[in-house]
C-alpha cells in the first residue's frame, strides 16, 4: 500500500473538542501530523465540511485551528475522521513536528 500522506503521523490519544455546523462536541485523537489529524467520535459528520478543532499538544500548549474533513471510517459504535489543517501557522507546524519526532523515539 502506498502512503498518501505528505507528513508522518504519530499516535495522539487525547480528548479534543470540535465545532461543526454550529454544534460543539468532543472526540478522542487517534493520530496527528503536520498536515492534519484523525479522531473518533459518535457524532455524524460530512466529508468536505469545514470545522474548528481545539486540542492540547501538551498540558500547556492549546490550539484552535480550522480544518477540512477529508475522510471517514465507520464502525459499529464510532466513526474515525481524518481532517487536514487549513492555514496552519509555522509555529504550530514546528510544535507538531517536534511532537512527532519525540514520540517516534519513545
Question: Residue 19: what are its φ and ψ, rounded to 5°?
Answer: -120, 125
Whether 102 has a pLDDT exceeding 90, the answer reads no
Whether 2 has a pLDDT exceeding 80, the answer reads no
Residue 39: its pLDDT value, please?
97
Who has greater pLDDT, 84 or 77? 84
pTM of the model: 0.86
Q: How far apart (Å, rounded) are the C-alpha atoms in residues 41 and 29?
A: 9
Residue 1: its pLDDT value, please?
43
User: Read out DSSP for 50-95?
Assistant: EEEEEEESSSS-EEEEEEEEEEEEE-SS-EEEEEEESS--HHHHHH
Taking only the tens place, the pLDDT of each residue in 22-59 is: 999 999 999 999 999 999 998 889 999 999 999 998 88
Amino acid at each position: 500500500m502506498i502512503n498518501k500522506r505528505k507528513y508522518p503521523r504519530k499516535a495522539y490519544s487525547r480528548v479534543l473538542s470540535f465545532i461543526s455546523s454550529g454544534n460543539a462536541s468532543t472526540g478522542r485523537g487517534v493520530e496527528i501530523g503536520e498536515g492534519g489529524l484523525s479522531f473518533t467520535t459518535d457524532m455524524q459528520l460530512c466529508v468536505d465540511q469545514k470545522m474548528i478543532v481545539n486540542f492540547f499538544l501538551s498540558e500547556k500548549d492549546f490550539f484552535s485551528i480550522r480544518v477540512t474533513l477529508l475522510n471517514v471510517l465507520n464502525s459499529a459504535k464510532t466513526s474515525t475522521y481524518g481532517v487536514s489543517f487549513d492555514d496552519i501557522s509555522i509555529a504550530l507546524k514546528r510544535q507538531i513536528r517536534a511532537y512527532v519526532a519525540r514520540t517516534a523515539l519513545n
